[in-house]
Structure formats: structure tokens, C-alpha cells
Amino acid sequence: MPKPISPAEASAPRIVIVTMDSHFGGAVDKARAMLRQQIPGLELDLHAADEFAGDEAALSACHADIARADIIIAGMLFMEDHFRLVQDAIAARREDCDALVCCLSAPEITRLTLMGRLDMSAEAKGLMGLLKRLRGKKDGNGASGKGQMRMLRELPKLLRFMAKCACCANCQSCCALFQAPRRIYAPIS
């Protein structure tokens, strides 16, 4: 990650959004205008895969913007024909940009997410690592709904033994909410 810069060295951030189609165009234009009032010199560019997939010049412009971006946001890149065009450019910039946010995309793209200590390519540690190990191995056909429900019922029991931290308390509350309808609507015998 780049070193934090002092206010004297501060420059306007360069933000690039790479997405599947250009339906965000109007919203990005409005956001750009509003943000430039607060952050003079801000660069906010949108590149849509439906535009650069068939246009070599648009793809080159997208790659150039990714190469110099401080913050990259990639979303809805789940079609292989689209994400393969920018995957290498995004991966090459991963360690040098301030933040790389990849969401609602193919796993190959989502794993590139890097924001501070959050590294989606790293092995899960702590509570998430424990939960993944408890989930067990997939047998090739994915986890069954029955197995997921069993794990959901057992999770509050496991969380009682964890350290009393805000994260565990939030997980316990969430699990209680998931189980509440079953308790409320269970047939009376």
C-alpha cells in the first residue's frame, strides 16, 4: 500500500469505476459534479464492459485509467467475456492503489479486493476461519440447504463460547433473528 501522504503533498484522487454496463452513467456524472465542488481536481471515470468489450480504443482507455487510479471500484463483472478483459490490469494495480473494491463479480475479480487490512485473497482467520472449517468440505455439488440450516442452528451455541466481543454479539443477535420465525410459528402441540 502507498504511504499516507501529508496535506502538503495531497493531490486529488483518481477514482475509476469498472462495471458491466453504463446504467450508472447518469449517477456517476452527478456524483462527479458534486464531489468536484468539495474536492477540486477529482477524477472520477466510469468504464462499462458493454462499451469496451467491442471497442479496442475504449479498452485501451480503460486500461490506462486503471493503471493510474488511486481507487478502483469493480462491480457486476461476472461475465467471463467482460472480466477477462480487465482482470490482468486490475491485478497489476492491486498492490499500488489506495483501495481496490470488487463486489458482485466473479470470484476471480472479488478476490482482488484490497482495502487496508481487508484482503479478500488471504485465508480467512479468526472467527470466519473457524466457521469455514466447521462448515466442512464441499463434496462437489455444493453445500446442501439442510446442512446450512443445521449449521445456522448450531452457530449460537458455538458463539456462546467465543470471547464477548461486539462481533460475536452481533452474530448471536443475527442468528436469533433467523431462528425466531421457527419458534414463533412452530405448530402448537
Name the residue ranges covered by the structural domains of the chain: 14-119, 126-184
- pLDDT tens digits, residue range 116-171? 888 888 887 776 676 666 666 665 444 566 776 777 677 777 766 665 665 556 56
Residue 11 pairs in a beta bridge with: none
pLDDT at 188: 47
pLDDT at 143: 53
pLDDT at 181: 46
Kindly state the percentage of the chain with pLDDT values over 90: 48
Average pLDDT on 59-77 reads: 96
Distance of CA 111 to the CA centre of its chain: 8
CATH of domain 14-119: 3.40.50
Average pLDDT on 26-36 reads: 93
Q: Is the pLDDT of residue 66 over 70?
A: yes
Instruction: Report DSSP state, residue 23.
Output: G
Q: Specify the residue for cell string 490490469.
A: 89
